[in-house]
Amino acid sequence: MPPVHVVTDTNTVVSGLLWYGNPRRVLDATRTRAITLSTSAQLLAELAEVLQRPKFAQRLARANVTPHTLVFGYAALARLVDA
């Protein structure tokens, strides 16, 4: 079976990084190499901007992570492609 390639939108990535549920399962499937996740520099920039919004501050503090840490980790998980 050929590998499954997935591109997620920023809302899905934020949900997967900060909560549990189906978006987290996508990230977990990437970690186990069940799927290949692709992203672009533009999507990473958007993710960084969104994670810095005040509505996520408390959630990030509880998880003891920074937006930069999450974006860096996500970038390492995904394959960077030109958009």
Indicate the number of domains in the chain.
1
Supply the DSSP symbol for 37: E
2 has a pLDDT exceeding 70: no
30 has a pLDDT exceeding 90: yes
Q: Per-residue pLDDT tens for 32-78? A: 999 999 999 999 999 999 999 999 999 999 999 999 999 999 999 99
Q: Return left, alpha or beta for 81; rule: phi > 0 is left, psi -120 to 50 is alpha, else beta.
A: beta
The predicted pLDDT at position 1 comes to 64
pTM for the full model?
A: 0.91
Instruction: Show the domain range for 18.
Output: 4-80
The predicted pLDDT at position 3 comes to 76
Q: Tell me how far CA of residue 33 lies from CA of 30, 76, 78, in angstroms.
A: 5, 13, 11
Backbone angles phi, psi at 68, to 5 degrees: -60, -45
SS3 78: coil
83 has a pLDDT exceeding 90: no
**Do residues 80 and 39 lie in contact, with contact meaning Cβ atoms separated by under 8 Å?**
yes
